Structure 1
Amino acid sequence: MEGEGAARLVGTPSNKGDTLELPKKGQKAAAGTEELPGTRDMDASGAQPGHLQPAWDCGHGGAGAVPKPSAASMDRQRSTELSALDSFPLKHSNTLTNRQRGNEVSALPATLDTLSIHQLAAQGELSQLKEHLRKGENLVNKPDERGFTPLIWAAAFGEIETVRHLLQWGADPHVLAKERESALALASMGGYTDIVTLLLERNVDINSYDWNGGTPLLYAVRGNHVKCVEALLARGADLTTEADSGYTPMDLAVALGHKKVQQVIENHILKLFQRKELE
């Protein structure tokens, strides 16, 4: 990656209105979601969860509370999901990172000088990030305009080695951004189970909620990240918490048709009942 293209890999996040929004019960999906400015080159995986809102009212209280949708509503839902998945603010770079290519430097030195610590963390530029952090003691936890620290950016983009090194260098995994976004929630949103496990080992709040009422478990369910859901449930994530939209994790899994996630949640609930009977 050379020239000015390197500087466009990571943009500055905007306000909460542009972030991922959990579905609202009984509402139709929005036609599309605005992207964060400057982040159009960030998508490597192609996964873009946006304002996905199921076309039927799912009610409250778990799996049994969801009415069976009609064939027409299922067609509308499928169309809605495909359209909503085309817009999501946190996009991954479509340029290979150091870790993926095995290179020490993925941009010209003159270009790297223009990147912030947050951009370097999101791209996994470990050697350059370390050099940058030497300029000041407080830079490792420095927030950007939205309150995102380098650790939050690295977690959001699945850069596990960067996350590991930032934690060793003193990054605080408990920090919440301005709208209560956390490294754990963003890692869960992306399905980065190794990073989720690493953060949970630092005793972060597993049930922390953001401006949207979304918890790490809700975002993992939303993304259909089975292993991530398993990891969060194994560490005691709360299954009864509802987002502002009214969905519990099971409600959301049923509404979105995530069968494997439903099975994981059902098995977890069964184990909890069995454990209680033995007490």
Structure 2
Amino acid sequence: MMENRLDENHSTTLTNKQRGNEVTVRPATLDNLSIHQLAAHGEISQLEIHLSKDSSLLNSQDERGFTPLMWAAAFGEIMVVEFLLQKGADPRTLARERESALSLASAGGFADIVNILLQHDIEIDSYDWNGGTPLLYAVRGNHIKCVEALLRCGADITFEADSGYSPVALAVALGHKKVQKFLEDHILKLFRGPVSVSENT
């Protein structure tokens, strides 16, 4: 109890800064953030300043191989994702463990970002060192809108992670019933595909 009271009396600027809350970070602190941190925080105006000074930062990779676009995708910063793509950021870049902007957005459940990235020429079934694909990460996170977007654009529903799980098996194992039903319905549509297409034409 005493500790809580002490925390409440502390300057909120310090605790917010420690949490990385960009709203209360002072401009002087923003100057010290890397372009990757700025992307994760959604600081478009600061990103613009950095990129106007050095355009090579656009696709620069940090120690994990993450680009500013990957950080923005991982943190759901849709406006930053759009801004970086307009500037020419490469959505096909893979990090050290083969993570992609698409797999990070899928894991986070950011369907709008997944849809934006899918409009670019990217490898939809790129897999990381765990054998995880964007679809598998979307299933694992129970992110049905991401699953839907990925399947609509042709994600491989048969691809298995290193653990041996296919998307359907993973949904069953985790008890994600809505995702499981969606995947099973998709498989049925694939089997009936050519017939229903000819009926519609």
Pairing partner for 2:123 from 205, 230, 233: 205
Max Rg structure: 2
| Alignment pair present for 1:176 and 2:94 | yes
Instruction: Report the 3-state secondary structure (helix = DSSP H, G, I; strand = E; otherwise coil) of the residue aligned with 1:199.
Output: helix
| Alignment pair present for 1:230 and 2:148 | yes
Instruction: Report the 3-state secondary structure (helix = DSSP H, G, I; strand = E; otherwise coil) of the residue aligned with 1:113.
Output: helix
Shift in Å, 1:107: 2.0
* Alignment length (residue pairs): 186
Q: Is the 8 A contact 1:2 1:111 kept in 2?
A: no
Aligned twin of 1:113: 31
- Residue type matched to 2:85 in 1? L
Q: TM-score, normalised by structure 1?
A: 0.64
Shift in Å, 1:166: 0.4
- Residue type matched to 2:77 in 1? E
Q: Which has the higher helix share?
A: 2
Q: TM-score, normalised by structure 2?
A: 0.87
**Any stretches of 5+ residues in structure 2 without a counterpart?**
1-11
Q: Is the 8 A contact 2:16 2:25 kept in 1?
A: no
Deviations 1:9-68 (A, max 9, x none): xxxxxxxxxxxxxxxxxxxxxxxxxxxxxxxx4xxxxxxxxxxxxxxxxxxxxxxxxxxx
Aligned twin of 1:123: 41
Pairing partner for 1:149 from 67, 88, 91: 67
Relative contact order higher in (CA < 8 Å, ≥ 6 apart) = 1
| CA 239–112 in structure 1, closer or farther in 2 if over 3 Å, else same | same
Instruction: Report the 3-state secondary structure (helix = DSSP H, G, I; strand = E; otherwise coil) of the residue aligned with 2:55.
Output: coil
Q: How does 1:37-76 map to 2 (within 5 A)?
A: 41=19
| Alignment pair present for 1:242 and 2:160 | yes
Aligned twin of 2:186: 268
Shift in Å, 1:3: 5.1
- Residue type matched to 1:252 in 2? L
Identity of aligned residues (%): 65
Q: Distance in 2 between matches of 1:233 and 1:155?
A: 19
Shift in Å, 1:271: 1.0
Q: Is the 8 A contact 2:40 2:72 kept in 1?
A: yes
**Any stretches of 5+ residues in structure 1 without a counterpart?**
9-40, 42-92, 99-105
**Structure 1 residue runs of 4+, over 3 Å off?**
1-6, 276-279
* RMSD over aligned Cα atoms: 1.7
Deviations 1:111-158 (A, max 9, x none): 111100000000001111111112212001010001000000000000
